[in-house]
Amino acid sequence: MAVLCKPEVAVPEYIITNDETLELAQRLHSDHPQLDLVLNLIEHTGVLKRHLIQPIEKVLKHPGFDERSVIYEAETKARVPAVVRRALNQAELEPQQIDLIIYVSCTGFMMPPPTAWLMDTMGFRPETRQLPIAQLGCAAGGAAINRAHDFCQAYPDANVLVVACEFCSLCYQPTDVGVGSLLSNGLFGDGIAAAVVRGSGGTGIRLERNGSYVIPNTEDWISYAIRSTGFHFQLDKRVPGTMEPLTPALSAVAEQHGWNAGKLDFYIIHAGGPRILDDLSHFLDVPPEAFRFSRATLTEYGNIASAVVLDAMARMFDEASALDGHRGLMAGFGPGITAEIALGTWTSDEGGRA
């Protein structure tokens, strides 16, 4: 059975606190007709700080989409390899033992994808398969785990590397002043995560079942408008209320496996915002403490898009509270509105490391 080993995560060195974000919003948008609402929403995101690949002064300038694309490629190549090496070490594997690299990012674009560059520079085999995922947004972290699981089911004993690289600050648009856009400016952060799914052996979460669900007629609730200035993030005010229609989908996947989604031992959930976690706690009827890993990611890093589920998972590994046989649910949410759902059981391997 495929085992998801401990993820590795890195956040960049530049930090902006929530207080600094509020001050910026007040200064830059002092004449906004809904400024009080915006400030209240930002204040209650649950985010204390976020990490950025550039100082906030550079982020605010927006040098143009072409220059941002140059920055995205340079920062990807500078920051991703170290995270990948640590993730491989956690799985006790070498690059030559990886059979598929899944690379997810919704905040920049490269062709050929970064997987080809990683293969050229880090010692992966030329036969290694590549699967870049660019358009699932925050759900892509969950999708990558599920596609890795599928691959290992099709090819027993295969090993898959998952990489999530998100530089959300490169999507800042100074001309976007809708409430949803301004809220996003106080919510999203930058981060990189990587993890290995081993086809055999390893300590971590043994992946057992996965599923996907799209809420009908919600494709425009989370989206990009792609213009000459780059990606313009669009967020509908109805998004925070999506856990009510999505909870039955999570429960259905668990029921197919003979599990009760509200009676599991651990939960790794995409922390899009505090209401997502609060509502899911209510509708699944689980205590708020069950989402402590996701909430910690939101508090310390903000919403780091597809990397959230991997960071929350790494926090669970660090807590070392999972015991053999503990059952859990993982879920990522993103554009569509899409839910990527996975079930797994904690397993220890004498030859592996947590």
Instruction: Please give, one letter per residue, the 3-state secondary structure of the chain.
Output: CCEECCCEEECCCEEEEHHHHHHHHHHHCCCCCCHHHHHHHHHCCCCCEEEECCCHHHHHHCCCHHHHHHHHHHHHHHHHHHHHHHHHHHHCCCHHHCCEEEEECCCCCCCCCHHHHHHHHHCCCCCCEEEEECCCHHHHHHHHHHHHHHHHHHCCCCEEEEEEEEEHHHHCCCCCCCHHHHHHHCCECEEEEEEEEECCCCCEEEEEEEEEEEEEEECCCEEEEEECCEEEEEECCCHHHCHHHHHHHHHHHHHHCCCCCCCCCEEEECCCCHHHHHHHHHHHCCCHHHHHHHHHHHHHHCECHHHHHHHHHHHHHHHCCCCCCCEEEEEEEECEEEEEEEEEEEECCCCCCC
For residue 65, the model assigns a pLDDT of 93
At residue 180, the pLDDT reads: 86
| Residue tagged active-site, from 106, 138, 165, 168 | 138
pLDDT of 350: 47
* Per-residue confidence (pLDDT) for residue 351, from 0 to 100: 40
Tens-place pLDDT, residues 80-132: 999 999 999 999 999 999 999 999 999 999 999 999 999 999 999 999 999 99
Active site residue 138: yes
Q: Residue 236's pLDDT is what?
A: 87
Residues with pLDDT less than 70, the chain = 350-354
